[in-house]
A and B are shown apart, each in its own frame.
Chain A
């Protein structure tokens, strides 16, 4: 079945450091891929998405490229800020109507000044 594997956290970085959070997936067909973020005390919110191979999703300085050949959707940011401290979830969505998102375990990012 479909699944998502994220790198284990926590990830601790200094402000302005480069961030990579790895995500790989297993799926049949051509899923959509998502990164959701959960800030402290809040619900999950969509950060970015990509719906087909080679698409790049981007938002708030974060980027992720849908790589079918490596079944990956790694999240990157060139220069993190303290306000980026949150839990990041990689997720996969089948393109069948009404089917659920499958989430990874989440990776906690902590950025210090």
Chain B
């Protein structure tokens, strides 16, 4: 069964360092998403991506964050200069259609720890 895969599963980094989280969405999906969950808090939307551009982003997704789909398969989230409060579980998701009645398929998450 096709699935969304994420790497790394866990990354520890020093404050101020750049981090890239990688995702391989399901191959025929068109819409891609990043969410994050700070421990004990809600799963929060960061950004959605369609047709090689951002279609929606939240207030959390500031200039420190960027996304790209460099090669038609990977979908990456870059945090340019990490802060302590970026420590969270980051989930990638994809869907066949724009999310209204459709289903999101999630990866297992990448845990980021910023020291």
Contact = CB atoms under 8 A, between A and B. Distances in A.
A104 to B, nearest CB: 7
Interface string B21-65: 000000000010101010011111100101000011010000000
Contacts, number: 69
A101 B101 contact: no
Contacts of A98: 31, 48, 50, 55-56, 98-99
Interface in A73-113: 89, 93-106
B99 A44 contact: no
* Size bracket, chain A contacts: 20 to 34
* Size bracket, chain B contacts: 20 to 34
18 contacts: A43-B91, A44-B106, A45-B106, A46-B104, A49-B101, A93-B100, A93-B101, A97-B98, A98-B31, A98-B55, A98-B99, A99-B48, A101-B104, A103-B42, A103-B43, A105-B40, A105-B41, A105-B42
Interface of B: 4, 6, 31, 33, 35, 37, 40-45, 48, 50, 55-56, 58, 91, 93, 98-101, 103-109
